[in-house]
Structures are given as structure tokens and as C-alpha cells.
Structure 1
């Protein structure tokens, strides 16, 4: 039976597919860590209270990258280059979503609007990350090899999503509601397209590594297109709503270290 659990179990059990999965994940987390570090350094004076939280977000992303690399190292595997068509972060940037790397390499402080764009981008992408990690936590949270890593990363992603909701609501109450909603909508509609394209590219590569039949590959691709159709019609709305989270000030303290994965 084809299910998320059986699919990931197959990827987990094969060294080459596991190495590709972890390399893609580690690359994305490393990019996110660098981006948040630069944004924290460039926060404008009027929003300096956000800088420690953004830096904590970046530290978490760096930690996740180290965890994925440690999972590979534990099996004697080296990372592989991330294929361009699977680079979720850069594909979003190419579509004008979030803050461009060229902008983040400058020393000019960000504007208030750019911080809103950053938070909207994070709110949408953290929704995706939190959902994916929650799925893995439900199916593999007790796995002897990856369970602890999955639980730790999933908890962090929940914190990141809560932080985005709270900070965007705070800015909305300060009069930025219309700007926030437009930024969220633009990002969500771009993200669901990029997620579809990256999912197709990753599954195509996994299929070649694992020797999937054409019928199975077509079935998976059909499922990915079906998810995109649902998200394009209605599912994207979950990415643009804002609700005050139960977990308040989620990034207001020190991050949880992962010494066993360092």
C-alpha cells in the first residue's frame, strides 16, 4: 500500500535516497540559517526587539542543518550537491518571494516593509515545514534512528510558526494589516507552485534511485498534482490566516541545543 509512512520508510532504508533527502533538507536549513542571521543584523531601529528572535530562528535552522548532516554521518554517508530543481529556497527567491540574497549581503538596514515581507514569507514556509515535520513525527517519532531528530525539529518548527503568527498580528494591530495580507497571499500562491515543482523533482530522483515502476511514478506525480489543485483552489487560505498562538513568545528565550548531533 502506498502511504506517506511506507514512502518515507523506503527512502529511509536506502542509503542513496536517504543521503539525497538529508542533503536537500540540510541545504535548505543552512540557507535559512544564513538568511535569518543577516536579517537579524539588518533589522531597522524601530523593530530592534525582533532581532534576538530572528537570530534564534536562524540558530535553530543552523542546528537542523547540523542534525541532518549528523544523520548522514552516522551511516557513513557524505552530503551530495542539491539539484537546482529541488532547491526550494532559491526557487522561491527566483519568483520574487522573500528577501533576495543580494539585498541581504548589503549593510543597509532593512525597511519596516521588508521585515513584513520576511515575516510573511516565514509564516507561509513555516506552515509547510510544520505540517511536514508533524507528519514525520506522527509516523517516525519513535523510530530508533531518526525519531529524536524528528521530534526536536518538529518542536522547533511549531515554535517558528507560532512566532510568525504573533509578530504579524502585532504589526497588523500597528496598522500594517493590508500590507501583511497582500504579502501573505503573494507568498502563498507562489509557494504552492514551488512546492509542487520541487515535490515532482524530488520524487523523480527518488524513483530513479529506488527503481520505481513507471506506474508508481505516475501515481505519485498524479497525487502531487492533485494536492496542488486543492491548494490552488482553497488550501492556500490556511497559509494566510493569522491566529494568536497558544505558545506565546515562542522564540523569546535561548534555543534548545542538540549536542548529540553536533
Structure 2
């Protein structure tokens, strides 16, 4: 019987698929770390109060990249090139989600509008990350090889999501509410399409490495398309609502050290 647990178990059990999975994850997290570091460095003066939190966010993402690379080393594996069609963050940028890299490479201050857009984009993508990590913790939180890593990353993603909610609500109260809602809706609809495409590409690569029969691959593809259809119809609303988190100041203070893996 097909289930998320059984599919991920197959991926973790095979060196080839585990290597690709960790390489994709490490690459995306490392890119996120760079992006947040650049945004923190280019903040407009009116938003310098966010510098420490955005820096912390970037440090967490860098840490996650190191964790996934450490998981590879622990099994005696090296990172492998990430197929372009599986590069979630790169494909998001092509869809206009996230601040363009050419802008981040310049030494020119960002605008308040840029930061509003950045935080709205982050609210959407951090929701995806938090939901995925909750699933991995559910299935692998007690796994001897990856359990500590996924548990820590899940806690960090929850903190990132809380920070996005809190800062966006403050910006909405300061008069940016209409723009925030516009960007949230546009970003969520683009993100679910990218997530569908990346999921299909990743499962395609995994299926070839694991020699899945055509019927199994077809069933997984149908499930991915079904998830997209639901998210396109109604699930996107989960990504655009804003509520003050129970835990305020989730990114105050230094990053949590990475666990030994």
C-alpha cells in the first residue's frame, strides 16, 4: 500500500535516493541562508530593527544545509548535483517569488516595499517548509539516523513561520495590509504550482533510482496532481491567513546549535 511513510522509508533506505534527497535539501537551505544574509545587509534604514531577526533566519537556513550535508557524510556519501527541475528555490525565483538575485547582489539598499514583499513570500514558503517537516517528524522523529535532525529543523521552521506572521501583522497595522494580502495570494498560487512541478520531478528521479513499476509511479503522480487540485481550489488559503503566534519574538536571540548527527 502506498503511503507517505512507505515512500520516504524507501528513499531513506537507499543510498542513491538518500544522497539525492539530502543534496536537494542542503542546496535549497544554503541558498535560503545566502538570500536572508543579503537582505539583512541591504535593509533600508527604516527597517534596521529587523536586521537581527533576518540574520538569525539566514543562520538557521545555513545550519540546515550543514545538517543535511552532515547526514550525507555520516553515511559516507558526497553531495550530488541538484537537477534543475528539482530546484524549488530557483524555480520560485523564476516565478517572481522572493527578491531577485540580481537585486540582492547589488550593494544598494532595499526599499520598504521590498521587505513587505519578502516577508509575504516567506510566510508562504515557510508554511510549506513547516508542514513538510511536521510530516517528517511524524514518520521519522524517532529514526536513529535522521530523527534528531528533522526534529530540530522542524522547530526552526515553526519559529520562522511565527516570525513571518508577527512581522506581517505589524506591517499590516502600519498600513501595508492590502499589499500584503495581494502578495500572499499571488505567491501562494504560484508556490503550489512550483511545488507540484518539483514534487513530480523529485518523484520521477526517485522512481528511476528505485526502479519503481509504472503503476506505482503513475499512482504517485496522480496523488501529486490531486494535492495540487485541492490546493488550487481551497488549500492555498492555509498559506495566506495571518494570526499572531502564541510565541512572540521567535527569532530573538542567537541560533540554536546544530545537533550532532
Both proteins in one fold, TM over 0.5: yes
TM, length-normalised to structure 2: 0.99
Contact 2:148 2:259 in 1 (8 A): no
| Aligned match of 1:149 | 149
The separation in 2 between residues aligned to 1:176 and 1:225, in whole angstroms, is: 34
The answer to whether 1:120 aligns with 2:123 is no
Contact 2:149 2:259 in 1 (8 A): no
Task: Give the 3-state SS of the residue equivalent to 1:31 in structure 2.
Answer: helix
Name stretches of at least 5 consecutive residues in structure 1 with no aligned partner.
Answer: none
Residues 173-229 of structure 1, C-alpha deviation per residue, up to 9 Å, x if partnerless?
Answer: 000000100111111010000000000000000000000000000000000000000
TM, length-normalised to structure 1: 0.99
| Aligned match of 1:21 | 21
1:149-168 alignment runs, 5 A limit = 149-168=149-168
| Aligned match of 2:186 | 186
Q: Which runs of 4+ in 1 moved over 3 A?
A: none
Residues 5-53 of structure 1, C-alpha deviation per residue, up to 9 Å, x if partnerless?
Answer: 1110000000000000000000000000000000000111011110100
| Aligned match of 1:85 | 85
Q: Aligned pair count?
A: 261
The separation in 1 between residues aligned to 2:151 and 2:131, in whole angstroms, is: 13
| Aligned match of 1:60 | 60
| Aligned match of 1:177 | 177
The separation in 2 between residues aligned to 1:232 and 1:51, in whole angstroms, is: 34
The separation in 2 between residues aligned to 1:209 and 1:126, in whole angstroms, is: 29
1:1-262 alignment runs, 5 A limit = 1-258=1-258, 260=260
How much has 1:260 moved relative to structure 2? 2.4
The separation in 2 between residues aligned to 1:43 and 1:186, in whole angstroms, is: 24
The separation in 2 between residues aligned to 1:259 and 1:184, in whole angstroms, is: 33
The separation in 2 between residues aligned to 1:142 and 1:246, in whole angstroms, is: 26
State the Cα RMSD in Å: 0.7
The separation in 2 between residues aligned to 1:259 and 1:192, in whole angstroms, is: 31
The separation in 2 between residues aligned to 1:170 and 1:89, in whole angstroms, is: 26
Name stretches of at least 5 consecutive residues in structure 2 with no aligned partner.
Answer: none
Task: Give the 3-state SS of the residue equivalent to 2:178 in structure 1.
Answer: helix
How much has 1:255 moved relative to structure 2? 0.9
